[in-house]
């Protein structure tokens, strides 16, 4: 079975990691603008490095530099978008996943009227995509909420955020509806649990009268409700639109057939799926409700919340997939890193330079599992390999390791489609080098296009085609038939 003829081949980027221009054209500060450079991030301790305090935020606000806050400069997509989109078009992209920076539309999140300069920027981007027939897939919130809302309300802990987000979403639907059919609400909504500040603006030392843990689950609930209301508005405002939800697919294996290992893996997978259950099936799963109850966490809900979730389910399920993880009941087992998660080292899998375990078959397993469970179309909206690239003296990047990674994942993706999985697109992360979310490094490169910039922001910002650029072009032209 071949991929569908209208298969959405392309790439995915996020505003906070590419745009730069953090303080111009009335843009407000976002949570990404205070994310510092962490070159020495210990991949064995992601959790510790995700702690964000009010003091750290205040220090960042008083520091104008972009050197130690690299997401402020990104790769200057704000001024290079025409050049970048032309390169994506040269590769034959059918789709580009981008996100809208909420702070360009509502700088503080609470203004009465949207910022017309921000609206115009995205209209220009969409016009440019239209020129090349590239379908935009747009995420409304990808780790870039207004910092003001974190400061004032402790982010999504406060119900007020639901209304503010819906207001922002409505502006996007009205302004960009003529260009955009495919939408996503929250990037990796599950990540509120792993990095609550980045995803939901929640800061531990601001939790007064409630626990940090309660704050996280409450924030998540508000995001589910906001996503459901946004889905309703999207359908009303843009006829024929498709609203997806997005999950970090963290497929977990048992380390052995010891039932204790199997149970741990099951719990981890159920936990991961619970976020999609709420958005695609429209309700909190029973086991998850009991889990929260046993933890003593009472989520504050409004009377109509359950109905809102039930009536406004996601049209499709989008996922990011980078690696798999393994659980063991034996605490002495060697650990391995992953996408802001840890797990037991899997002896069958190689790892990237950043210690993420490479598992193409895990993608096939993930797609089978998700399609069997949810029966809605799936879209892979992130998959890729962060690596250290070397630019040769004749301006080439021979990134065969990236080609190998992507080839094997695409092969397994196709195998899942052969088994009957309804898959509508594949946008790899990221088609162009950008600033890493977890470490804010530039040197953790994902692109088919090399960007001449180092970790401290030195470089010409020139765009250079890597070997993988030409490879991916052939893959798209052959609709996935030519992978070698
Ligand atoms: C995904 C995020 O989880 O992982 C992206 O949605 C991110 O924004 C990607 O860039 C890769 O992670 P990192 O830390 O290598 O940038």
Q: Quote the CA–CA distance of 340 and 374 in Å, as a whole number.
A: 25
**pTM listed for this prediction:** 0.97
Per DSSP, the three-state class of 392 is coil
Best probe residue, ligand 1, of 15, 139, 198, 429 (max atoms within 8 Å of C-beta): 429
Give the model's pLDDT for residue 1: 64
Asked whether residue 48 carries a pLDDT value surpassing 60, the answer given is no
Q: For the chain, give the percent of residues with pLDDT over 70.
A: 98
Tell me the CA–centroid distance for residue 381 and ligand 1, in Å: 11
Tell me the pLDDT tens digit for each residue of 132-147: 999 999 999 999 999 9
Which residues, including other chains, have CB under 8 Å from residue 223's CB and lie 6 or more apart? 156, 185, 186, 189, 192, 200
Peptide bond before residue 430 is cis, with ω within 30 degrees of 0: yes
Asked whether residue 43 carries a pLDDT value surpassing 80, the answer given is no
Element spanning 416, H or E: helix 400-418
Range 159-176 average pLDDT: 98
Distances (CA, A) of 400 to 107, 144, 167, 321, 471: 42, 33, 45, 20, 10
Q: Domain coordinates of the chain in residue numbers?
A: 8-477
The DSSP bridge pattern shows strands 378-382 and 335-337 to be unpaired
Tokens found for residue 40: 């020495």
Which residues, including other chains, have CB under 8 Å from residue 127's CB and lie 6 or more apart? 179
440 lines ligand 1 (CB under 6 A): no
- The average confidence (pLDDT) of the chain is 96
Residue 209 DSSP class? S
Asked whether residue 50 carries a pLDDT value surpassing 90, the answer given is no
Q: Which 3-state string (H, E, C) describes 153-171? A: HCHHHCCHHHHHHHHHHHH
Cβ(126)–Cβ(172) under 8 Å?
A: no
Tell me the pLDDT tens digit for each residue of 57-97: 999 999 999 999 999 999 999 999 999 999 999 999 999 99
Give the model's pLDDT for residue 45: 58
* Model confidence band, residue 51 (pLDDT cutoffs 50, 70, 90): confident
Cβ(430)–Cβ(446) under 8 Å?
A: yes
Burial per residue of 317-354, b for 16 or more beta-carbon CB atoms within 10 angstroms, e otherwise: bbbbbbbbbbbbbeeeeebbbbbbbbbbbbeebebbeb
Give the model's pLDDT for residue 304: 97
* Model confidence band, residue 339 (pLDDT cutoffs 50, 70, 90): confident
Q: Which residue has the tokens 């790892």?
A: 351
CA 346 to chain CA centroid, Å, is 25
Give the model's pLDDT for residue 340: 86
Assess if CATH 3.20.20.80 describes domain 8-477: yes
199 lines ligand 1 (CB under 6 A): no
Per DSSP, the three-state class of 326 is strand
Q: Which residue has the CA at smallest separation from atom 7 of ligand 1?
A: 437
- Report the catalytic residues: 188, 382
Q: Which residue has the CA at smallest separation from atom 16 of ligand 1?
A: 436
Count of helix runs (H) and strand runs (E) in the chain: 16, 14
Q: Which residue has the CA at smallest separation from atom 12 of ligand 1?
A: 437
437 lines ligand 1 (CB under 6 A): yes
Asked whether residue 257 carries a pLDDT value surpassing 60, the answer given is yes
| The ligand 1 atom nearest the CA atom of 340 | 14
| The ligand 1 atom nearest the CA atom of 429 | 9
Tell me the CA–centroid distance for residue 303 and ligand 1, in Å: 36
Range 328-354 average pLDDT: 92
Tell me the pLDDT tens digit for each residue of 282-304: 999 999 999 999 999 999 999 99
Range 175-192 average pLDDT: 97
């Amino acid at each position: 079975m071949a991929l569908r003829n209208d298969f959405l081949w392309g790439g995915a980027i996020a505003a906070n990691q590419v745009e730069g221009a953090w303080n111009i054209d009335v843009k407000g500060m976002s949570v990404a603008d205070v994310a510092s450079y962490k070159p020495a991030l210990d991949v064995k301790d992601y959790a510790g490095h995700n702690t964000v305090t009010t003091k750290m935020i205040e220090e960042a606000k008083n520091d104008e530099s972009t050197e130690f806050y690299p997401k402020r400069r990104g790769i200057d997509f704000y001024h290079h978008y025409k050049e970048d989109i032309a390169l994506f078009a040269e590769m034959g992209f059918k789709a580009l996943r981008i996100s809208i920076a909420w702070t360009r539309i509502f700088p503080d999140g609470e203004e009465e009227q949207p910022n017309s300069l921000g609206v115009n920027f995205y209209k220009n981007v969409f016009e440019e995509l239209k020129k090349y027939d590239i379908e935009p897939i747009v995420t409304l919130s990808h780790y870039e909420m207004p910092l003001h809302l974190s400061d004032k309300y402790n982010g999504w802990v406060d119900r007020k955020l639901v209304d503010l987000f819906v207001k922002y979403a409505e502006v996007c639907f009205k302004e960009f509806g003529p260009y955009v059919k495919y939408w996503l609400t929250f990037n990796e909504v599950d990540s509120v649990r792993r990095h609550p500040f980045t995803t939901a603006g929640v800061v531990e030392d601001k939790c007064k009268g409630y626990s940090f843990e309660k704050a996280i689950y409450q924030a998540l609930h508000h995001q589910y409700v906001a996503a459901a209301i946004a889905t309703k508005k999207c359908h009303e405002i843009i006829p024929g639109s498709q609203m997806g939800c997005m999950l970090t697919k963290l497929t977990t294996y048992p380390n052995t057939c010891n039932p204790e290992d199997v149970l741990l893996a099951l719990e981890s997978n159920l936990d991961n799926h619970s976020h999609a259950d709420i958005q695609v099936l429209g309700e909190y799963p029973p086991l998850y409700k009991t889990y929260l109850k046993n933890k003593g966490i009472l989520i504050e809900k409004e009377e109509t919340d359950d109905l809102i979730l039930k009536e406004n389910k996601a049209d499709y399920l989008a996922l990011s997939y980078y690696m798999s993880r393994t659980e063991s009941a034996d605490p002495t087992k060697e650990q391995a890193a992953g996408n802001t998660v840890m797990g037991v080292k899997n002896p069958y899998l190689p790892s990237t330079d950043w210690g993420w375990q490479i598992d193409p078959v895990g993608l096939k397993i993930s797609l089978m599992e998700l399609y069997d469970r949810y029966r809605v179309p799936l879209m892979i909206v992130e998959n890729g390999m962060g690596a250290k690239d070397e630019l040769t003296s004749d301006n080439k990047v021979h990134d065969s390791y990236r080609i190998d990674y992507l080839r094997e994942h695409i092969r397994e993706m196709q195998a899942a489609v052969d088994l009957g999985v309804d898959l509508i697109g594949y946008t790899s992360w990221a088609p162009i080098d950008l600033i890493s979310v977890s470490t804010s490094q530039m040197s953790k490169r994902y692109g088919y296009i090399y960007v001449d910039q180092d970790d401290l922001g030195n470089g010409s910002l020139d765009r250079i085609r890597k070997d993988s650029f030409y490879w991916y072009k052939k893959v798209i032209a052959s609709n996935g038939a030519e992978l070698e």
